Structure 1
Amino acid sequence: MKKQLSGKNFFDNQSPPPQGSYEVVRTPTYLLARDEDCENMFHAMADHLNAYEVAQMLGLDFRDLQIVLWDKHPDTAFKDLYQTAFAPNHPVKRQRDFSGTVLFERLIFHLESPAGQVHVGMLDPWTCRDSELFAAFRAHVLKAYDLWDVPPPKKPQVTLSVRRRTAEKNVGRVCANEAELEKVLREGNMMDYQVVDLGTKSFREQLKIMRNTNVLVGIHGAGHMHAYFLAEEAVLAELHPPYRLDRHFRNAARMNGKIYLPYRVVNDKISCKGSSDAITINANDFRKVMDGALRLARNFHGGLSECGLWCDPNILALDKNLIPLYKPGDGQVKNPKKPRFPC
């Protein structure tokens, strides 16, 4: 970098201006050279956090910042994040949007993603349980999208995050028995669920889904970085393939005040399509994972239901806050037996 800045295309503010005609850009400009896997939310999150951290260290005002995507990668769904949260008053640009000689009065170079705080440190034991940086970044993004002051789900909301192959991308870690897992979720009562392929959603849509989710479950994948944006109290249930030992998403959940619930696949029921693998999740094991996750989620905030995936209606009836949420056929117990000390 020092060598580049000493070249003929760079000079400090004490030097004479370049010869000939040129365009002057007075808006502080951030050159964002993204990770080559910028479509992947894990790698993209490293860039997002780094950009936020650099802006804080330099005292930049996002209202007066211009972002230039300084690479040849696709825009991706995250271009909207840069536009909305990092440069709301100036369009996100590319190198091709400039012509001729350009004089930038204030130019900021991006801190590359390998230096990002999303990467798990090697120190053991893990002593950090939260992060002011992560919390501030989370608040900044959610406020930019007007999703900060969002009430939590009134009953457990499960989002099963899945990955599906397309003609454009032969993604890996596909769930081979997605329908079977959805059948397990249908066993639950007084809870809602949705099955979502986040790769088909805009970033704004992804955030809206996550703000109304307090149980996020899925096979190990970049979408688990949404642990940053889940409801205030939430569970991240990660289904680990038998061949991975990563702790990226445990770190994301832990440092954002979320409960991390892991499960490891131990069978060898994996099929391949080129470099893409499809993993079979044991339905009984998945049921146990969901039972544990929902046992936690039913007691978030003022919840009073000490039960899991399926709840005895007599237990649900003890929580008066659930009364408006019953639907026809839910088996509501309208006159529950009140708890009494027996002795």
Structure 2
Amino acid sequence: MLIIFFLSFLFFVFGDTYNWSELDIPIEHAIYFFTNNPSIHNQCLMDKDKCPYYEQAKNLPSSDIACWGYEPNCKNNASLIQCSGDSRGWTTTKEKQINEFWRTADFGYIAEKRNELREFCSSSLECVDHLRFCRAKNIYIDFRHIETSKHHDRYREDILKYGDIGGNCKLNRNDLIKNGDHKSPLQSWFSELQVFIEINDTNLFNCDLYITKPTIFIKLDSGYNMYHHFCDFINLYITQHMNNTFTKDIQIILWDTSKNDYWSFFSHTWNAFTSNRLIHIKEFEGKRVCFQNVIFSFLARMFYGFYYNMPLIPGCTQTSLFRSFQQYIIHRLRIPQLGPLKSNQIRITLLNRTTQFRQILNANEIIQHLRNISMNENNDYLINVVDYNINMPFIEQLNITHNTDIFMGMHGAGLTHLLFLPDWATIFEIHNCEDRDCYLDLARLRGVKYFTWENDAKVYPQDEGKHPTLGTPHKKFTNYAFDKYEFARIVRKMVKYVKEHPAYRSAKRMKYSTMNSIPTLQVEQRDTKTSKDEF
């Protein structure tokens, strides 16, 4: 019998010293973390010289203020939400509108899911409704018959047979089976857990491997598409909050039932969640594995989940959850914010697609027109034209995006970069190709101002566009030219918005009250229309 032990502890305390490097949270999040982890708060106070969050620990506000919003006594919920628009019949009062946005799109979602948690197998398995999230202790999973080496299907739902997963507990099978109404690969864990059994003696687990490191199972959406893959990452972040576990010393296991290797252009993002390599379940083929602590993560396409399949109440914007996700990723991937610029210039980035469809046919004319306006007025625009293709590393892309005040691009997954814009930024979906809500809703969740084309008479499609397989007319499958004067008018609106944004003014005040130098972004440009000196 092969036995592999992964040395780990839930809170990573070595002797009397906490391993602060494995925590690595944004400084803004420290007070919330300490409220939810009082023993680590005390450790920080005792570890003054080593704890990087000592000042936050020393000045910790009361627990009803220093909280995310899902804690039972928290008074800080819905603190960022703005609902200036009409709910269009979703609710009858403004208070109900704000609460509905918080409940479904902010930390209120986690509060609701925490209330749903209940035991399905005593002391061993607990889940939320529909088995969309579960956590288990001291269970085994039998991977001896999964046959990943024979298949390309990533989402097989029959790889575990009755008894291939179980624990030493008393199982409520009737309740478990009743929660199979959301059975689907990316919507619940019912397919895997419906065959769970109870075993009276842990000696009967007969495992080949023993994994004691805290583990998260996750089933992934498309790793090739930023919009869909970041559904995975936001749900992993929500899972961390659900379990109050933010250390990077965890094991993430990809529940992929194929023999294919995982590859994604966005794979560097995993470094924000774990300091360990990803494991594919095919590595367990032929083995029976015991897990000491394991979580079955929230998934990317759940009904009413984040953010695919998410009906979003109209009229509201700006969630604490998505803002904290941005801060978390930017911090852990070490992406600096080098603005606002002292010169008062607004950093404008045009994402210029070089794909077959949705190209801007007169992009050069528009950019030259904007530069002429800038030269003739206050030199307000610092314009960068980029092609976020596979030749530009994702970290480099994030550096550019996070140091952008106005981000512009045609409808497409690249607009998911709006998640990492600074708080004062705007997103300009130049043409939404009749998919009106996709990036509008994502911008509302993140809390950045959304703009799109306003005058259909001043946009010029190359042709009617045809769906490549159906052959029917489709706005996404053609290219467009735009009236440069109308384009400039919208840019002026965005520049005005950014300069008047309280967060922009505050950041500029704080940055230059102690600094006199003008920051520059040192980025090697690849496949762009401008040089790094221009940027």
- TM-score bracket relative to the smaller structure: 0.7 to 0.9
Partner AA of 2:211 in structure 1 = V
Partner AA of 1:50 in structure 2 = N
2:240 paired residue number: 55
Equivalent-residue separation in structure 1 for 2:340 and 2:309 (angstroms): 29
CA apart distance, 1:262: 1.8
SS in 2 for 1:175: coil
Q: State yes or no: 1:135 paired with 2:323.
A: yes
Unaligned runs of 5+ in 2: 1-129, 132-156, 170-198, 469-476, 507-515, 519-535
Equivalent-residue separation in structure 2 for 1:259 and 1:280 (angstroms): 24
Aligned runs of 1:280-295 on 2, under 5 Å? Answer: 280-295=481-496
1:340 paired residue number: none
What is the aligned counterpart of 1:180 among 358, 362, 365? 365
Q: State yes or no: 1:296 paired with 2:488.
A: no
CA distance change for structure 1 residues 124 and 31 in 2, over 3 Å: closer, same or farther? closer
SS in 1 for 2:245: coil
Aligned runs of 1:175-254 on 2, under 5 Å? Answer: 175-187=360-372, 188=374, 189-200=379-390, 201-241=392-432, 243-254=433-444
Equivalent-residue separation in structure 2 for 1:273 and 1:262 (angstroms): 23
1:331 paired residue number: none
Equivalent-residue separation in structure 2 for 1:185 and 1:253 (angstroms): 24
2:164 paired residue number: 9
More off after superposition, 66-75 vs 187-196: 66-75
Equivalent-residue separation in structure 2 for 1:62 and 1:160 (angstroms): 36
Partner AA of 1:92 in structure 2 = L
Equivalent-residue separation in structure 2 for 1:17 and 1:179 (angstroms): 70
Q: State yes or no: 1:113 paired with 2:300.
A: yes
Equivalent-residue separation in structure 2 for 1:162 and 1:262 (angstroms): 16
Partner AA of 2:415 in structure 1 = H
| C-alpha contact 1:152 1:211 (8 A) present in aligned 2 | no
CA apart distance, 1:182: 2.3
Report the count of equivalent residues.
Answer: 296
Equivalent-residue separation in structure 2 for 1:234 and 1:29 (angstroms): 36
Equivalent-residue separation in structure 1 for 2:358 and 2:330 (angstroms): 29
1:41 paired residue number: 226
SS in 2 for 1:184: helix
Partner AA of 1:207 in structure 2 = L
What is the aligned counterpart of 1:270 among 435, 439, 462? 462
Equivalent-residue separation in structure 2 for 1:38 and 1:225 (angstroms): 14
Deviations along 1:126-161, one digit per CA (max 9) or x if unpaired, are 2x3221211221121111012366543442100001
CA apart distance, 1:240: 1.9
Q: State yes or no: 1:144 paired with 2:335.
A: no
Equivalent-residue separation in structure 1 for 2:219 and 2:455 (angstroms): 37
Q: State yes or no: 1:261 paired with 2:462.
A: no
SS in 2 for 1:106: strand
| C-alpha contact 1:120 1:247 (8 A) present in aligned 2 | no
Q: State yes or no: 1:68 paired with 2:258.
A: no
What is the aligned counterpart of 1:279 among 472, 480, 483? 480
| C-alpha contact 1:50 1:112 (8 A) present in aligned 2 | yes
Equivalent-residue separation in structure 2 for 1:264 and 1:176 (angstroms): 18
Q: State yes or no: 1:95 paired with 2:281.
A: yes
Structure 2 length-normalised TM: 0.50
CA distance change for structure 1 residues 23 and 119 in 2, over 3 Å: closer, same or farther? closer
CA apart distance, 1:59: 2.2
1:26 paired residue number: 212
CA apart distance, 1:78: 2.1
CA apart distance, 1:207: 1.5
Equivalent-residue separation in structure 1 for 2:268 and 2:430 (angstroms): 29
Superposition CA RMSD, Å: 3.1
| C-alpha contact 1:213 1:230 (8 A) present in aligned 2 | yes
Partner AA of 1:10 in structure 2 = I
| C-alpha contact 1:210 1:230 (8 A) present in aligned 2 | yes
| C-alpha contact 1:38 1:73 (8 A) present in aligned 2 | no
CA distance change for structure 1 residues 57 and 20 in 2, over 3 Å: closer, same or farther? closer
CA distance change for structure 1 residues 152 and 9 in 2, over 3 Å: closer, same or farther? farther
Unaligned runs of 5+ in 1: 304-322, 326-343
| C-alpha contact 2:248 2:272 (8 A) present in aligned 1 | no
| C-alpha contact 1:173 1:220 (8 A) present in aligned 2 | yes
| C-alpha contact 1:240 1:264 (8 A) present in aligned 2 | no
| C-alpha contact 2:255 2:280 (8 A) present in aligned 1 | yes
CA apart distance, 1:299: 4.1
How many percent identity over aligned positions?
Answer: 24
Equivalent-residue separation in structure 2 for 1:131 and 1:282 (angstroms): 34
